[in-house]
A and B are shown apart, each in its own frame.
Chain A
Amino acid sequence: MKGERLGEFEEFTLLAAGALGDNTYAVPIQQYVEKVTARPISIGSIYAALARLEDKGFLRSTMSESVSQRGGKSRRVYTVTPSGLRTARDLHRVRERIWNAIAEGGRS
């Protein structure tokens, strides 16, 4: 089922959310992804990825308490779910296996 898989961009977003720790939100995620990939990332694509990840159950979002630097408005904060973490790890492991194979001379 496609819903269980991750696209590259989704993976970046998911990992960024994990790296930034619990209760992070769209702006830091965007800046993080932009920094590590060294390419301009639009906020719209982050929103879309976050929404898709949430649909797939890899992220969970809640509304935060109101934040003073945002004029007292609350914001949607994201936390990586265990299933998200597991999927990311699986993906990482698959990649590792392949890289190892490459290092050993093209055989798995």
Chain B
Amino acid sequence: MTRLPRPARWLVALSPVPPDTRSEVESDLLELFAVRRRDGGRLRAHVRLYHDVASLWLQRRPSSPAAARRSPFASMRDVPGDLKYAARLFRRQPAILCLTIAGLSLGLGIATAAFSIMNAALRGEGLADPDRAPVVLRTTDRSVSTAWKYDEFVHLREGSTRMQVEAVLTESAPVHATPGEGDAPSTAVAFVSGGFFAAAGGRTTLGRPLEAADERQAGPPPVVVSFVFWASRLDRDPAAIGRTIHVGRTDATIVGVAERGFSVPGNRLLWMPATAYGAVYGSGAGRHTPDAGIQVFGRLLPGVALAEAEAQLSGVAASLSNGATAGDSPLRAKLDPRAGLGRMSRSDALGIAVFVFAVIGLVLLLACANVATVLISTAITREREMGVRAALGASRGRIFRQLVTESLALGAVAAAVGLLVARWALPTIGTMIEAPAGADLSPDLAVYLFLAIVTLVTGVGAGLAPARHGRDADLVAPLKGEGASQNRVAPRRLRSMLAITQAAVSVLLIVLATLFVRATFRAAAIDVGFDAAGLYAVSTALAASDDSVAALRSFQARAMSELQGMPGITAVALTELTPFGGATKSAITRDVPARVVHFNGTDAGYFETMGLRTLAGRTYSRAEVEAGAPVAVVSESLARAYWHDRSPVGQVLPREIPASPVQPVVIGVVADAITARLHERNALAFYQPIDHSSGVPAQLLMRVSPGASGVVEQANQRLRAIDPQADLRIASIASLLRQEAGRPRMLAALTGIVGTVAVVLCVIGLYGLTASVVGQRAREMAVRAAMGAAPRDLTRLVMWDSLRPVVIGLAAGVAAALLASRVVVATMFFGVSPQDPVAFAGAAAILLVAATLAVLVPTRRAAAADAALVLKQS
């Protein structure tokens, strides 16, 4: 061996050993290492070697001239002194301190808030190893669905040998956390099979997860509450286990509190066994499990490939005697790990993540530039102090360290304030983006870590600019006299660069914010083809726990006649799907390119209730619905897509559109309506008479005449009177539509807030910069004034000098915004052109006005100064 082990060499290099003796120390260590390896073996030699290396730190040599050069860590000892000095300095300049801290903490706070939200979104729901936990899709030749019947699930579970098959059904129910609570908010409940927690990888903070035995338990059903529920509704009660809460129509005993971050599927707040379904929704004896609409997923057993499990499960599914609903082809199971349990698709999340990170980066760049601007302007006035320090023997490195320490100290204070800003902003932003109730937005370790790293980077970054300036500055000239530094203005290029950066980032952010704001309005203004106001969906599906389809039908028939007779209700219809109700049925056409066609089963009154005009032919009659006639009504867009200018009436629905059980005959064309996935704006649709035997629970849709008040409440009471046991929920379609249209609102809110902050930061920075430049040029301006320049000329001179970089930055920002708006997924804009002239012109105007104001104030003050006085003073 001729050299020390590499780690030891590195450690020696970092140690306080003076560089000129380092090679000697290494030789000594190597010699000892060799001797010890010979005498005591490799391990012992290594242990002693690192002991020796450590001793180089612990056993300091007394200071000798050669030892004055220290290791990088040794400089940490200067920190307390530097901090003390920074504190004294900032006390002398409180205005600059406040300005800087305000700017930086605003930037850090917003960045932290944005990161928290994205962190919450990206954290997902806590499904362990999602690639091994695929969703089981129910497929036939014609359809793909996520919904299974409970019996089918039980069959799958019993037959599966390659994966653990579990079920989950998501519903909401009013939950009273305490007995005395008044109007309990509806809370998302997941009804799960016994092995759900085991398969999803959910753990508990308190108590235990649900287990297989819970499915068969008598008495009050067990419930596992989420961490958010425990924190917000149970006040983190450490004795929550065993407490009773009221869920729907039953008491439930809390058996566990889920681990923080576990909210599968889709931000659930409560988990209960599927067998508790009947109790929650208030049925008597008979079926206790939900009927249909069960999502099935599974955990692949170790070593089992996806295809293998799929083939095995398909075999099980095929043996289900289910010809009636599956048409002519047997049922198959398809495993899809990407569909996940309602989790956001990865590409969506990634797109938003990239976007949010870009925004955060821009804001921090801005805050950094801003702080650097302020520090530079102080650095200029501190040239004399730096000169003194240099003259007293401070190395440039030492001065550099001091400047970085100062900006880091600033950063630390700003980070603390920023955290407060973030804590304050988070609930506000959470409301703005309509975060789901189960979402956990409070900052976690990752957020604090993010803030710390960002503060460090920003602090060092902001300190670097003036430090660089300090390095290049002539440290001796300022000592010779005031005059020398008076003529020296900060390096013009650096100053301009900072102003350009600030302006460019501001413009970019404002443009994006404006685009998103416009997209929000545009989304709200998308013509869905029907009037959502006054339209209500009455969900009665859950009252069907009395098992028989006939009971549900008779209830719905009575409900319809009851509602039709009510004043204020203009129309009532029965439909499989309600607009924006969450569920969709769609077929993918077999032509190229494939289209997505929505279809829906309705009764005869649906078109009147929705307010869809009949454009050609007619809609189906009540008799046709009763008979289940093979007829269909198509939307205008569908008619145009397949029949172009010809009339589709009397034609058979094209073979390309899969329909079951036979291709129906088109009897009419109705106006387009968008009833799901607003951003797709897909109005291709056909309607068929509702098939009551399909087992799909129908829902009521009612239209309330405009101006009628209290109708919904009355309807609710009347329906309850029919069956007090029934669980009814009446949802306003207009509010569902608003929710759907709120998608771009999150981005609008985020960029809007950030854009505002950007402008404020830009104004602060420009103001500070101009004020310092004007201060330094006071003498020049006084001379100009003495030679006859009018105050207006002086103002124009300085203003143009200060605004020029802003204008350049404006151009750069507009160019960047043009690029960025192309990259951002077009669907987020809901049809607003990424090159929207209003957004660009608006952003430019906002920035120019703000910048002009920021520059005008100090400039005017300087121009108005008494020239004689200024000259006398200098």
Give A contacts to B, CB under 8 Å.
25-27, 30-31, 40, 42-45, 47-48, 51-52, 55, 70-71, 73, 75-76
Contacts and interface: CB of A to CB of B under 8 A. Distances in A.
A25 B29 CA distance: 12
Contact of A45 (B25, B35, B55): B55
Interface of A is mostly: helix
Contacts of B61: 47-48, 51-52
B32 A27 contact: yes
B62 A55 contact: yes
A63 B88 CA distance: 48
A26 B30 CA distance: 12
A42 B55 CA distance: 6
Contacts of A75: 24, 27-28
A66 to B, nearest CB: 11
Given A27-B32, A48-B59, A51-B61, A43 B27 contact: no
B48 A40 contact: yes
A48 B64 CA distance: 12
A26 B52 CA distance: 13
Contact of B27 (A30, A48, A73): A73
Interface string B24-66: 1101110110010000000000001001101111111110100
The 7 closest A-B pairs by CB, nearest first: A44-B55, A42-B55, A44-B59, A48-B59, A51-B61, A43-B52, A45-B59
A26 B51 contact: no
21 contacts: A26-B28, A27-B32, A40-B51, A42-B55, A42-B59, A43-B52, A44-B57, A47-B25, A47-B59, A48-B59, A48-B61, A51-B61, A51-B62, A51-B64, A55-B62, A55-B64, A71-B27, A75-B24, A75-B27, A76-B21, A76-B24
B27 A44 contact: no
Contacts of B24: 73, 75-76
Interface in B1-36: 2, 21, 23-25, 27-29, 31-32, 35
A18 B55 CA distance: 24
Interface string B47-87: 01001101111111110100000000000000000000000
A13 to B, nearest CB: 12
Contacts of B62: 48, 51-52, 55
Nearest to B23: A73
Contacts of A30: 32
Contacts of A71: 2, 27
A42 B32 CA distance: 10
Contacts of B56: 43-44, 47
A48 B23 CA distance: 17
B59 A31 contact: no
Given A27-B32, A31-B35, A45-B55, 19 more contacts: A26-B28, A27-B35, A30-B32, A31-B32, A42-B58, A43-B25, A44-B54, A44-B55, A44-B57, A47-B25, A51-B61, A51-B62, A51-B64, A70-B31, A73-B24, A73-B27, A75-B28, A76-B21, A76-B24
Given A73-B24, A76-B24, A44 B58 contact: yes
Interface residues of B, number: 24
B840 to A, nearest CB: 66
Interface in B378-431: none
Given A27-B28, A31-B35, A71-B27, A43 B55 contact: yes
B51 A42 contact: yes
Contacts of B32: 27, 30-31, 43
Q: Quick one: which of A44, A70, A71, A73 has the most chain B CB within 10 A?
A: A44
Contacts of A42: 51-52, 54-55, 58-59
Contacts of B29: 43
Nearest to A42: B55
A51 B54 CA distance: 18
A77 to B, nearest CB: 11
A32 B406 CA distance: 50
B13 to A, nearest CB: 15
A97 B724 CA distance: 109
A51 B29 CA distance: 17
Contacts of B59: 42, 44-45, 47-48
B28 A43 contact: yes
Nearest to A9: B59
B212 to A, nearest CB: 59
Contacts of B31: 27, 70
Given A26-B28, A42-B52, A43-B52, A48 B35 contact: no
Contact of A48 (B2, B21, B60): B60
Nearest to B30: A70
A75 B56 CA distance: 18
A47 B55 CA distance: 10
Contacts of B27: 70-71, 73, 75
A44 B55 CA distance: 5
Nearest to B52: A43
A5 to B, nearest CB: 15
A90 B438 CA distance: 81
A67 B56 CA distance: 24
A15 B54 CA distance: 25
Nearest to B61: A51
A86 B781 CA distance: 77
Contacts of A40: 48, 51
A60 B734 CA distance: 94
Interface in B507-548: none
B761 to A, nearest CB: 50
Contacts of B55: 42-45
Contacts of B23: 73
A40 to B, nearest CB: 7
A45 B52 CA distance: 9
Contacts of B51: 40, 42
A40 B2 CA distance: 24
A40 B44 CA distance: 12
A51 B16 CA distance: 14
Nearest to A45: B59
Interface string B702-742: 00000000000000000000000000000000000000000
Q: Quick one: which of A40, A43, A71 has the most chain B CB within 10 A?
A: A43
A55 B60 CA distance: 14
A76 B61 CA distance: 15
Nearest to B16: A44
A82 to B, nearest CB: 22
A73 B2 CA distance: 12
Interface in B822-867: none
A25 to B, nearest CB: 8
Contacts of B60: 48
B67 to A, nearest CB: 8
A52 B59 CA distance: 11
Nearest to A44: B55
A76 B23 CA distance: 11
Contacts of A70: 27, 31
Q: Quick one: which of B27, B56, B58 has the most chain A CB within 10 A?
A: B27
